[in-house]
Amino acid sequence: MNKTFHMILLSLFIAQSLALYIIEGMLPIPFIAPGAKLGLSNLITLIALYTLPRKRDVFLILFVRVLLSSLFGGGPNALLYSAAGAALSFLAMIAVKTIGRDHVSIIGVSTAGAMFHNLGQVLAASIIVQNSMIMLYLPVLSLAGIGTGLFIGVAANFIIGHIKKLPLFKKIKQTAPHLLSTNN
């Protein structure tokens, strides 16, 4: 497989992530915590984390999604909140996946990512508004994060199980094992 295929694959991940972000914005989800979301676009990040061998590709997908989603439906503040949450979430997922390689499933990695995403956003908000009292909102967001992290983790586990069965995936694994890997 060549660089063109690799770029197309990354582009597809980004497009899917953006599509899920837009769909999620249309869903009227009555959460206890205002501003809490399902994090559907994080499903693609999680799938990429478990199927792409290079972490920088996963970070690129995440970075471009945050940037474009902020352009589509946010602004400077949305970009700051999303970037802080995404960065902390990405680092947490990598750490949990690496440290707990034999003991933590994709569901645990997803839940950790959701929790740290909320932490990153609340930290960014407290810095922006210069008020640490915003941190009191973190327990409520954490409960929502646990639920959404579990949901996204279960969905990613199901999808990755089916991706491995695709003939294209098997062909890529045979001809270019360095391009896609499920061992990390």
How far is the C-alpha of 121 from the C-alpha of 82, rounded, in Å? 7
* 183: in domain: no
Average pLDDT over residues 41-55: 91
Residue span of the structural domain in which 102 resides: 3-27+37-175
**pLDDT score at 43:** 94
CATH number at residue 86: 1.10.1760
- Written as one letter, the residue type at 173 is K
* 181: in domain: no
Tell me the pLDDT tens digit for each residue of 85-112. 999 999 999 999 999 888 999 999 999 9
Place of tokens 């960014």: 124
Does residue 180 have a pLDDT over 60?
no
